A and B are shown apart, each in its own frame.
Chain A
């Protein structure tokens, strides 16, 4: 079992109702705890940026990213290790 590390996910999403709930639900519904979450506008008012800190090993984080990218309103997701 690889060890859990803190990852920062940067998500650019369409600014539409329900998007935050869908993303948070996707992460928490799989039993992973969000440590920090912030959502704000970008210069383009139709796009929001979410910064999500999640604890997990690389394969878990990778799976979360792929699932996030599958979401209809998610434009892009990147991640980096925070340590």
Chain B
């Protein structure tokens, strides 16, 4: 190969990202990635500058959740890379495909405690699916191809590629490979004929079956197949939080969300079912409560692409390691139609007796649940709801009628506060046909508020709704219920704080910072709603607008999320109010 045909590692990296299908790259520059940034102006994909590397990682994550494609971010070495750790861990827990390119100090400098050096592969190992340290420019195209393959095959997850600065400057003639073949990693797995026959038999014989659908259904694009199974055999469907949207909640067969803050009918049905058909779930502790009493009358079928998740937390009677969609396509043709009239009638009673509801606490104070109902109403249930973590997340899960996959974006396993704002921005880059509504609390919003400016710069028509109750609501709720109402560290307003947290000067405003002014300073349209009578019209107007808008809603500070099945306890201990 002639020398002039060679390209720098940085150029080859950018070319490889494009070849791998990158449409949007989220990132933040720094010393060790300058060579890569130097190639971006000519890149065939869009570059989006975040304002903090954690934000960049969450944007890539939100983009991946909204589209199903691999999210990509690029950050510098040392602090740039360590700032992405929370974002990587978030994606890792929820099985979201990400590729994160991190700069690294030159190979010669590694291990010398050089400026902005960190052992990124070492740090990220525990929170990623895989990490690569690239040692020569010749390895770059193949590494990028492998990283995208690993991120998106099997149970998806984040992959880090650590690229030393000298490697970016090396010349190479390496080409992007036509196909990826990994020696040791072959995640594809199919159900056997025996398993399929057993699965169909169990479903056909069940008297009180329940489908329990999780994020894996959405990841495998199997929502339609779940609906087909449910309709054909008249099986009610509960979902995890990650599975919201995997089954239309307007369907009478929907039990809505199960778990700690799940619908009572869903939890009761799982408690009484004789066959739990678990599809793409992990049996997380937030779903099961006390394991020994979970689904105590049921045979459990567990279909998941991750062999390590089968029988990890609960004993499984039939575990199938396979893609959920593949399994359902086959099994749907083998099951008999059924009615399960008695079972559905019993569930109907629970639904009637324990609807998702709340009581107004004070006449002129907005209840947080009302805010979600208003968003549901004015977006006709069609918005992509991106949430932060805590009470705002649970109310969004409970009071929005989820009906489409990839329309509920939330940090499930990791429960990362600060996820909402950047993830909404990432989702908006991926989905420009749906309205994006981001629901945050006042706590989480302050963690990554700086990213709002990215939405404004790119004229993203996102509606940020900050539900402000002046406290870290979920923490406060646990303190109210389990810590003798000692609100240590959880009150953000000035006047209600414990004595040890009281501030010297007497501030005459209660809510700090002023979130509306903060949003305006970032260039967004912003308004505050206090009067319940104005809630509906303000939300409707914001959803209709095509400007980046932030609505701060001052809500009842003492509202709790109910029902609640306290951690590690059985379904009997569910608290309703």
Residues of chain A at the chain B interface (Cβ within 8 Å):
13-14, 17-18, 21-22, 25, 29, 59, 62-63, 66-67, 69-75
Contact = CB atoms under 8 A, between A and B. Distances in A.
Interface of B: 121-122, 125-126, 129-131, 133, 150, 154-155, 182-185, 306-308, 311-312
Given A18-B121, A18-B125, A21-B125, A13 B184 contact: yes
Given A14-B183, A18-B121, A72 B126 contact: no
A33 B182 CA distance: 30
Nearest to A73: B184
Nearest to A29: B126
Contacts of A63: 308, 312
Given A70-B307, A70-B308, A75 B183 contact: yes
Contacts of A69: 307-308
B343 to A, nearest CB: 32
B150 A72 contact: yes
Contacts of A70: 154-155, 306-308
A17 B150 contact: no
Given A66-B307, A71-B130, 8 more contacts: A14-B183, A22-B125, A66-B312, A70-B307, A71-B184, A72-B129, A72-B182, A72-B185
Nearest to A12: B184
B301 to A, nearest CB: 18
A18 B131 contact: yes
Q: Which 8 A-B pairs have the closest CB atoms?
A: A66-B308, A75-B184, A72-B185, A72-B130, A67-B308, A66-B307, A25-B125, A29-B126
Contacts of A25: 125-126
Given A63-B312, A72-B182, A72-B185, A17 B306 contact: no
14 contacts: A14-B183, A18-B121, A18-B125, A18-B131, A18-B133, A25-B125, A25-B126, A29-B126, A66-B312, A71-B130, A72-B129, A73-B185, A75-B183, A75-B184
A8 to B, nearest CB: 20
Kindly name the residue among B125, B129, B184 whose own CB sees the greatest number of chain A CB atoms within 10 A.
B184
A69 B122 CA distance: 20
Nearest to A14: B184
Contacts of A72: 129-130, 150, 182, 184-185
A69 B154 CA distance: 12
A11 to B, nearest CB: 11
A13 B185 CA distance: 11
Nearest to B150: A72
Contacts of B307: 66, 69-70
Contacts of B311: 59, 62
Contacts of A67: 308
Nearest to A69: B307
Nearest to B310: A66
A10 B64 CA distance: 36
Contact of A21 (B122, B130, B184): B122
Nearest to B154: A70
A25 B128 CA distance: 12
Contacts of A75: 183-184
A74 B131 CA distance: 14
Contacts of B121: 18
A75 B183 CA distance: 8
Nearest to B321: A66
Contacts of A29: 126
Nearest to A66: B308
Nearest to A62: B311
Nearest to B132: A18
A72 B181 CA distance: 12
Contacts of A13: 184
Contacts of B122: 21
Nearest to A17: B133
Contacts of A74: 184
Contacts of B182: 72
B428 to A, nearest CB: 32
Contacts of B154: 70
Nearest to B119: A21
A37 B307 CA distance: 25
A2 to B, nearest CB: 13
B446 to A, nearest CB: 31
A71 to B, nearest CB: 8
A9 to B, nearest CB: 15
Nearest to A76: B184
Contacts of B125: 18, 21-22, 25
Contacts of B126: 25, 29
A66 B154 CA distance: 14
Nearest to B185: A72
A74 B182 CA distance: 11
B182 to A, nearest CB: 7
A23 to B, nearest CB: 10
A28 to B, nearest CB: 10
B311 to A, nearest CB: 8
Nearest to B309: A66
A62 B309 CA distance: 11
A21 B308 CA distance: 20
A4 B131 CA distance: 32
B407 to A, nearest CB: 29
Contacts of B184: 13-14, 71-75
A69 B184 CA distance: 9
A75 to B, nearest CB: 4
B150 to A, nearest CB: 6
B145 to A, nearest CB: 13
Nearest to A67: B308
A70 B126 CA distance: 13
A74 to B, nearest CB: 6
B496 to A, nearest CB: 39
